[in-house]
Amino acid sequence: MKVAISQLNYHVGNIKSNCTKILGAIENAKQNNADLIVFSELSLCGYPPLDLLEKRSLLNETEKYLEIIKNNSNDIGIIVGAPRLNSESGKNLFNSAFFFDNKELVSIVDKTLLPSYDVFDENRYFQANDNFATINYKGEKIALTICEDLWEEQQDIDKFVNKNLYKISPMDILIKENPSLMINIAASPFTSSKNRIRKEVLANKCIKYNLPLIYVNQSGANTDIVFDGNSMVINSKGEVIKQLIDFKEDLQYIETKDINSEAPNERDLKGHIELIHDALVLGLKDYFTKTGFKTATLGLSGGIDSAVVCALAAEALGNENIRVLLLPSQFSSDHSIKDAEDLAKNLNIKYDIVPIKSIYDSFENSLSDIFAGTEFNVAEENIQARIRGTLLMGISNKFGNILLNTTNKSEAAVGYGTLYGDMNGGISLLGDVYKTEVFDLARFINKEREIIPINTIVKPPSAELRPDQKDEDSLPPYDILDYILTEYIEKNTSAEEIIANGYDTETVNRIIHLVNCNEYKRYQIAPTIKVSNKAFGQGRRIPLVAKY
């Protein structure tokens, strides 16, 4: 049986557009004499649809376009993911895989294991399946599962989940029917460590059941979640014999009779920083494409964060669609202004210089009686940041340019940012990227030529909100800070355990206190493109008023 593996970029809720893509892939597969084409989980409505699933109109539209797909199943079998209504007791919907052939519905497989961790909340919407059967088609007996149904082992999610997360394994049940082939349709989001984990999990399943696997994931990004694709075919020995391209749409073919005889053909894994780079570029590009926006703006300070965001934005959106403001104050150094100008020229983007000293002076004069007798402190520093935020939002409103937030994860974690100032923005590129990784990204961006000025990379980081200010006046060195943050945020390591690993008690306790007491700031930050196992936002839910 010749199988077409269709890895597409879907738009959540845009059923008609998604269906058009699906029909295009079906036509291509027919022209290549495929017997079966497989699409990813919830491909018709896009993933994650969230509370759109509560709209009956979306379900009606889904049913309408499923009928169109079914009517295009002449001469080819089709597996496509979509929600469907549950007519019996339980949740209103199933997360389903529809199998069409010869303009008929051959089978429906519903998802059994509904993840409710990190960014997943499928128990909110879907009823779990309790009916299991293989599907006979074209000489193969297919064990068809949906994403998590082949992922019940979750050792790598965090340190507390080191056993099977579920009490049931769909494949343990399906294997009793002696299937000849596993097919798994997925909506598996990207993280920088997931490629290795995903391949290991799937390969172990092939070895365990002594079966080949066709795994179909989607590519593209929807708001904060990026899908890297990397669909693959794995033989019964756990060897990858075919792997689709990452971060792009792809359509490839495999003869099922050849899966166990073909030589392994696994691509070398990209490095950690290259993966993050590719995910951020795709995430930003799709955010703009799918919201209908075309142009972006940001404040270019001469610092590393805004420089990396600017370079990524130029790559994702095109340099002609980027407009930046340089907003020097009386505390801005000459070299920072020059670094920002050099970057703008290197990228060939439009920039304007708008000094803010006179605006700041007017604020200071207006508040002089109220602030009388007090020392210059964070209040005056934040006024500068909020002036910049206001001017940038003025550009955004006037010209329709979406403001890009430039806050990195290290700063967001400890509250080293100003609400309604430098934390403004419609989308955050670096909010899930630690400061040490930002430096690595800058070096990666410069791998072929100097785009980001070297001085921006090598100079000590500074907010430049007071004379001779350096980040390390307020924070430990970033390599130490990022280690503590990674352990505490992503691995749930306690302060005591971090200290036991050789880190200063006072520093660890202070950093963890800053993380805990700045939750209110992160609650108000822009949607953040997720690249780690634990990003701020919907995947990390901490009560604002908690005392812990």
- Please confirm, yes or no, whether 147 is among the known catalytic residues: yes
**Identified catalytic residue from 2, 21, 41, 148:** 41
Contacts of 81 (CB under 8 A, 6+ apart): 39, 40, 41, 42, 43, 44, 95, 96, 97, 98, 146, 185, 187
Q: How far is CA 440 from CA 245, 303, 446, in A?
A: 24, 14, 10
- Strand, helix or coil at 152? coil
**Pairing verdict, β 240-243 and 232-234:** antiparallel
Rounded alpha-carbon distances, angstroms, from residue 33 to 37, 225, 255, 366: 10, 34, 11, 75
Residue 103, by phi and psi: left (phi above 0), alpha (psi -120 to 50) or beta?
left
Gyration radius of the chain's alpha carbons: 26
Give residue 70's identity as a one-letter amino acid code.
K
Mention every residue, 6+ apart, whose C-beta is less than 8 A from residue 131: 110
User: Is the separation of the CB atoms in 332 and 464 below 8 Å?
Assistant: yes
Furthest CA-CA distance within the chain: 86
Of 2, 21, 70, 111, which residue is the catalytic one?
111
Catalytic one among 21, 61, 140, 147? Answer: 147
Query: Which 3 state secondary structure label does DSSP give 393?
Result: helix
Strands (E), 256-377: 296-299, 322-326, 350-353
d(CA 37, CA 67): 16
* Of the candidates 61, 439, 12, the residue with the CA atom closest to the CA atom of residue 227: 12
E-state strands within 148-299: 181-185, 213-216, 219-222, 225-228, 232-234, 240-243, 250-255, 296-299
| DSSP state, residue 331 | T
Active site residue 270: no
Q: Say which amino acid occupies 373.
A: G
Q: Which long-range contacts link 19-23 to residues 24+ away (Cβ below 8 Å)?
A: 19/44, 19/65, 19/68, 19/69, 22/69, 22/80, 23/68, 23/69, 23/72
| CA neighbor of 137 nearest in space, from 77, 210, 183, 182 | 77
In this structure, what DSSP letter does residue 425 have? -
DSSP notation for 449-516:
S--S-HHHHHSPP---SSTT--GGGTS--HHHHHHHHIIIIIS---HHHHHHTT--HHHHHHHHHHHH
Length of the chain: 548
Contact status, residue 196 vs residue 156, Cβ threshold 8 Å: no
Is 274 labeled as catalytic in the residue annotation? no
Beta carbons within 8 Å of 146's beta carbon, 6+ residues apart: 41, 81, 95, 96, 97, 109, 110, 111, 112, 184, 185, 186
CA-nearest of 113, 76, 83 to 98 is: 83
Active site residues: 41, 111, 147
